[in-house]
Structure 1
């Protein structure tokens, strides 16, 4: 199976509504944010490091993101 992901500069995703993962620690070390980009030209889910908001963002399909969540959820 071939999967394709893209990266983009976060500045190109201006207007995206980023949400911090509920699993990100409160210590400031492990902070992941996601944005639903369905209604944009990207038609993807954006993932970025919240400590570097203007850094790169990983763009994956909704199917790839769902598969990722299925693997990292407790009990998977």
Structure 2
């Protein structure tokens, strides 16, 4: 049995929780900044996945080791 999707809003969302592209592009505050060590961790995880030859759509958390970033 197929689960029903919630109904989509019929009018634009408004209020302080709404993010707009122009607001995001004007501020770097929303973008994460990773230390060189954490970037190295991501690179190592990517090398691990590539070395195993796992197809992209089959990659899971178990294939992508992130000792400090996982949490």
Larger Rg: 2
| TM surpasses 0.5 | no
Higher normalized helix content (fraction of residues): 2
Higher normalized strand content (fraction of residues): 1
